[in-house]
């Protein structure tokens, strides 16, 4: 079987625009994350108790969000496996 890519030729301009937009978004996210990370690192080492607490909460909320996403993905996977097993057992 041979893949026919000729259908993409009329849309190469749009594909190139999409690739450029993806690269720009990635660069902005990388720069923004670096700047935000630097500010949080400076705040975490600050002698100001208020700045330290704000930075601590920012990191803690991020870790909780990450842990919650992992938990939801794990539970969803287990539910999907049970549903597939039940569907196979019922002949669906």
Name the token pair of 67.
């842990």
In the chain, domain spans: 6-90
At 43-89, the pLDDT tens digits run: 999 999 999 999 999 999 999 999 999 999 999 998 988 888 888 77
Identify which has the larger pLDDT, 4 or 51: 51
* pTM for this predicted structure: 0.59
Q: Which two tokens stand for residue 59?
A: 């990191």
């Amino acid at each position: 079987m041979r893949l026919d890519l000729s259908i993409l030729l009329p849309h190469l301009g749009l594909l190139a625009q999409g690739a450029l937009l993806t690269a720009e978004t990635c660069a902005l996210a990388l720069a923004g994350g670096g700047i935000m990370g630097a500010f949080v690192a400076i705040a975490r080492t600050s002698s100001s108790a208020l700045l330290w607490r704000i930075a601590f909460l920012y990191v803690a909320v991020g870790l909780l969000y990450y842990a919650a996403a992992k938990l939801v993905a794990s539970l969803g996977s287990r539910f999907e496996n049970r549903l597939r097993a039940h569907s196979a057992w019922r002949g669906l």
